[in-house]
Amino acid sequence: MTVSAGVASRSGALCPQRLTMEHVTSRWGVVVLIRLLERTYRFAELRRAIGATESVGQVTEKMLGQTLQSLERDGLVHRDVKPVVPPHVEYSLTDLGREAAVQIRALALWTDERRERVERARREYDLARAGG
């Protein structure tokens, strides 16, 4: 399999692979996918669950809606509207979304486990660049 570094086509549109990568690896895409690995969520529940994640902060309703819509369009998230009043909407991962979420969670765990090594490398780099 070849992974190209091409970002845009001649028309200026992002290539499909790059667009999917942007959705999956965006700030909120990562968090949504990892949260939905846990279970199915209603919109407000998901927003509260994300807000409880100290390191990321609170997501706006608009941003969460856009993120869910992008992931749904990519076939990663399933939106289930229950025919009740008021409307009851639940979000879950599709099989494809579960595959992506497992990979994203593994990368998130890897970065967390290596945080100290990365910080040390940054300090060493900065020190060397400063001439010291």
The pLDDT profile of the chain, 132 residues, written as one tens digit per residue, is: 444 444 444 455 668 888 899 999 999 999 999 999 999 999 999 999 998 775 777 899 999 999 999 999 999 999 999 999 888 999 999 999 999 999 999 999 999 999 999 999 999 999 999 975
Q: Residue 59 gets which letter from DSSP?
A: P
Q: Which residues lie below 8 Å from residue 32, measured CB to CB, with a gap of 6+?
A: 46, 50, 64, 67, 68, 71, 77
Residue in the structure block whose two tokens are 């790059």: 18
DSSP 102-126: HHHHHHHHHHHHTHHHHHHHHHHHH
Determine the length of the chain: 132
For residues 93 and 103, the answer to whether their CB atoms sit within 8 Å is: no
pLDDT score at 16: 82
* Cα dihedral across residues 111, 115, 118, 123: positive or negative: positive
Residues contacting 24, CB < 8 A, separation 6+ = 30, 33, 71, 74, 76, 100, 104
